[in-house]
Structure 1
Amino acid sequence: MLDIEQLKPLGEGTQKIVFEYPDDSNKVIKIIKSEHATPDGGRAGQYKLRAHRSQGIYRQFRRELLQYLQLCKSHYGALKFTFPIETVYGFVATDQGLGLVTERITSPSGRAFSVYDLVKEGLFTDRHAAALDQFFDECCDMHVVFGEVNIAGIMYTEQRQGKPEFVLVDGIGEKLIIPFRSMSKTINTRNIRKVERHIKSQIPFYQATDV
């Protein structure tokens, strides 16, 4: 069991904290914040039936794992294992609960830059715009299902496949009770394009260039 206090923190969101994986800087460990969990693993602050459905606090992990497995299944013939979402490596036990182990996405400088970071620091250029367009196109083509995707959950890298690309690291997988997006590529593509329009509306580059 890993002691979280001994791990290097890399960042956090509203639900999760991210740590560097010990002895492998190319991986990260994500854990659910303890304040969001009940003693028996449910979601704190929700009605009991909802709080304990489908793996409770680990529901997010389940969605991401299932999405990655589905993509691997769909591309079985090509033996493809790298997609526009982070690669899932498995799970690890920690003293603060189960951790999800995934690849670490970093920019050429070694820093983790999200679309939000690039925009905030005035670094978003034509190079990033082309990579972001390709990201959304690939998500549509590969039938990547979005949960709640926002501008801070899409990370930039050039090291992963030797080219500029964006990778989704949060908000992955089907959230709907009836999985319409998973069942229909057409419905899913419509949702991806809606998310794309919303994200691009927050990037001054697109308004300035009328893209």
Structure 2
Amino acid sequence: MKPIRAGDDGGIVNQKGFRRHHQQGIYRQFRRELLQYLQLCKNHYRANQFIFPMETVYGFEQTDQGLALVTEKIIAPSGKSMTLDEICNERNFDHKHGIALQQFFNDCCSLHLVFGEVNKAGIMYTEQRNDRPEFVLVDGIGEKLFIPFRAMSRRINANYVRKVENKIKTQLNIEY
């Protein structure tokens, strides 16, 4: 969490009222991500599945800039991190990326991974995680709505995931 966004009380700078005094303050995104990961683990416990199309959460760490959420490092074959946006901007998006992206959105729907505010810069590419090309969500994870409609309904969530998919495909001019 960027210290510049935090007030002295742990709330978000420039927010007022209820939102300013929300229980987790600047750390509420940590809470969303952690709860989403735990929900997926619970739902897929019988299948012994604990790897999902989102970064794996490992815990928390104190830093000189505040509390940090420790997650899995997602890297491309080059050894650097690479977002979907960067792949498309560098004109490197090819057939294997198209298949991996389609699989990513299909998995998000079937596993009931709830999106918050997902965009093309929050989806990372890797081939190291499961020894195959895949995309992994690293930002915009978890329910943001006061009444968690998408978390409560697989159908509503799947419709939203497809809406985000279409928006991203349109923005990046992707066809697969």
With normalisation by structure 1, the TM-score equals: 0.82
2:118 is aligned with 1:157: no
Counterpart of 1:190 (choices 159, 164, 171) is 159
2:27 is the counterpart of 1:58:
yes
Are 1:179 and 2:148 an aligned pair? yes
1:95 alignment partner in structure 2: 64
State the one-letter code of the partner of 2:88.
V
**1:91, distance to aligned residue in structure 2 (A):** 0.3
With 46-55 and 114-123 compared, the bigger mean Cα shift is at 46-55
Output the CA distance in 2 between the equivalents of 1:59 and 1:108.
Answer: 32
Alignment size in residue pairs: 176
The equivalent of 2:11 in structure 1 is: 42
- State the one-letter code of the partner of 1:75: H
Alpha-carbon separation, structure 2, partners of 1:72 and 1:168:
16
- After TM superposition, where is structure 1 displaced by more than 3 Å over at least 4 residues in a row? none
Q: Relative contact order (C-alpha < 8 Å, sep 6+): which is higher? A: 2
Which residue, 136, 140, 144 being the options, matches 2:105? Answer: 136
Tell me how far apart the structure 2 counterparts of residues 176 and 47 of structure 1 sit (CA, whole Å): 18
Q: Is the 8 A contact 1:149 1:195 kept in 2?
A: yes
> Percent of counterpart pairs with the same letter?
60
Which of 69, 77, 98 lines up with 2:46 in the alignment? 77
Distance 2:102 2:31 in 1: 28
Q: CA RMSD in A?
A: 0.8
Equivalents in 2 of 1:205, 1:68: separation in Å? 29
1:86 maps to 2:55:
yes
Find the residue that maps to 1:166 and give its secondary structure. Answer: strand
SS at 2:120's partner residue? Answer: coil
Contiguous gaps of at least 5 residues in structure 2: none
SS in structure 1 at match of 2:69: strand
* Aligned AA (1:118): I
Q: CA deviation at 1:59?
A: 0.4
Q: Contact 1:36 / 1:44 at 8 angstroms: preserved in 2?
A: yes
Q: Does 1:33 align with 2:2?
A: yes
Unaligned runs of at least 5 residues, structure 1: 1-31
| Aligned match of 1:127 | 96
User: Which secondary structure does the structure 2 equivalent of 1:123 belong to?
Assistant: coil
Alignment match, 1:203: 172
Is residue 125–residue 205 contact of structure 1 (8 Å, CA) maintained in 2? Answer: no
Partner deviation per Cα, 1:82-135 (whole Å, 9 max, x = no partner): 000000000011121111000000011101110000011111111101100000
More strand by share: 1
Q: Determine the structure 2 residue equivalent to 1:19.
A: none
